[in-house]
Amino acid sequence: MSEIRTLIVDDSSVMRKIIERALRQAGLELMVVHEAGTGAEGLDVLKTQPVDLILSDINMPAMDGLEFLRQIRGQNLAPGVPVVMITTESSEEHVRQAIEAGAQGYIRKPFTAEQVKERVLPLVRAA
Amino acid sequence: MFLNGVREAGQAQERGHGAKEGSRTMVASLRESVQLISDPRNLDDSVEEVFRLMLGVECRRDTTPAAAEKESVTAVVGFGGVLSGACVFRSGASAALKIAAQMTGMEFQELDDTVKDAIGEICNMLAGAWKGKVPELAANCGLSVPAVITGRDYKLHVQAPEFQVHHTYRFENARFEVTIICDGLL
Sheet holding A53-56, edge to edge: A30-36, A4-9, A53-56, A83-87, A105-108
Alpha-carbon distance A26 to nearest alpha carbon in chain B (angstroms): 15
CA separation (Å) from B32 to A7, B36, B37, B38, B164?
44, 9, 10, 12, 17
Q: How many domains does chain B have?
A: 1
Phi first, then psi, for residue B75 (nearest 5°) are -115, 140
Does B1 map to a domain? Answer: no
**Nearest alpha-carbon partner for A86 in A109, A66, A68:** A109
Alpha-carbon distance A94 to nearest alpha carbon in chain B (angstroms): 8
Alpha-carbon distance B15 to nearest alpha carbon in chain A (angstroms): 11
What does the alpha-carbon distance between residue A94 and residue B9 come to, in Å, rounded to a whole number?
Answer: 10
Q: How many domains does chain A have?
A: 1
What does the alpha-carbon distance between residue A79 and residue A52 come to, in Å, rounded to a whole number?
Answer: 10
Phi first, then psi, for residue B171 (nearest 5°) are -130, 135
What does the alpha-carbon distance between residue A22 and residue A114 come to, in Å, rounded to a whole number?
Answer: 8
Q: In B, which residues are within 8 Å of A21 by CB distance?
A: 105
User: Which residue in B3, B12, B143 is closest to A104 by CB distance?
Assistant: B3
Give the 3-state secondary structure of B29-63: HHHHCHHHHCCHHHHHHHHHHHHHHHHCCCCEEEC
Task: Please enumerate in sequence order all residues whose Cβ is within 8 A of that of A51, keeping only pairs 6 or more positions apart, or say none.
Answer: A5, A6, A7, A32, A34, A45, A78, A81
Q: A–B: how many Cβ contacts below 8 A?
A: 104
Structural domain including A57 reads 4-126
A10, A13, A57, A92, best to mutate vs chain B, most B CBs in 10 Å: A92
Give the 3-state secondary structure of A38-66: CHHHHHHHHHHCCCCEEEECCCCCCCCHH
User: Which residue in A87, A90, A105 is closest to B4 by CB distance?
Assistant: A105
- Mapped onto helix, strand or coil, the DSSP state of residue B16 is coil
Taking CB atoms and an 8 Å limit, are A110 and B13 in contact across chains? no
pLDDT at B161: 83
Write the pLDDT tens digit of every residue in A18-46. Answer: 999 999 998 888 889 999 999 999 999 99
Whether residue B120 lies within 8 A of chain A, CB to CB, comes out as yes
Band of pLDDT at residue A110, cut at 50, 70 and 90 = very high
Per-residue DSSP letter, A102: T
Beta-carbon-side half-sphere exposure of residue B180 (alpha carbons within 13 Å): 23
Does B2 map to a domain? Answer: no
Write the pLDDT tens digit of every residue in B24-68. Answer: 445 456 767 788 888 999 999 999 999 999 999 999 999 988 888
Average pLDDT, chain B: 84
Q: Which helix (H) or strand (E) holds B86?
A: strand B83-92
- CATH assignment at residue A106: 3.40.50.2300
Q: In A, which residues are within 8 Å of B120 by CB distance?
A: 12
Phi first, then psi, for residue A29 (nearest 5°) are -95, 105
**Nearest alpha-carbon partner for A10 in A33, A30, A31:** A33
Contact between residue B77 and residue B86 where contact means Cβ atoms under 8 Å apart: yes
- CATH assignment at residue B131: 3.40.1550.10
- Look up the pTM and report it: 0.86
pLDDT at A1: 59
What does the alpha-carbon distance between residue A83 and residue A73 come to, in Å, rounded to a whole number?
Answer: 10
Q: In B, which residues are within 8 Å of A99 by CB distance?
A: 3, 6, 10
Structural domain including B95 reads 7-185
pLDDT at B29: 62
Whether residue B57 lies within 8 A of chain A, CB to CB, comes out as no
Per-residue DSSP letter, A75: T
pLDDT at B28: 53
Write the pLDDT tens digit of every residue in B74-102. Answer: 999 999 999 999 999 999 999 999 999 99
